[in-house]
Amino acid sequence: MPFFRIALWIVLLVSAMLLPFLPGRHDPLAASLSVSAVVVCFGGLLLIPIGAPPTRRTIRLGEAQSRSAECADGVAEFLQ
């Protein structure tokens, strides 16, 4: 299922980028939508090398695991 979500986002972004180049009258909304799509894609490309989303998720999971371990240690000490 995640593959289809990613494919849908890619199709939407590429369509938005190509919208100003379709035949017809000039549409200011198409131009601004195209610029927005380019900015989103460029921002996503900047996140790939540094791995910000996986790193942030790992940090969150690590904090949650360390908190639960501290809680378990506290309960174990209390019960002894």
**Residues 6+ positions from 22 with CB-CB distance below 8 Å:** 30
Domain-wise residue ranges, the chain: 2-79
Q: Which two tokens stand for residue 25?
A: 């009258």
Instruction: Please report the pLDDT score of residue 16 as a whole number.
Output: 85
Q: How do the pLDDT tens digits run along the chain, 80 residues long?
A: 678 888 898 898 888 888 888 888 878 888 888 888 888 888 888 777 666 666 666 666 655 555 555 555 555 665 55
Q: Which two tokens stand for residue 14?
A: 């590429």
pTM above 0.85, yes or no: no
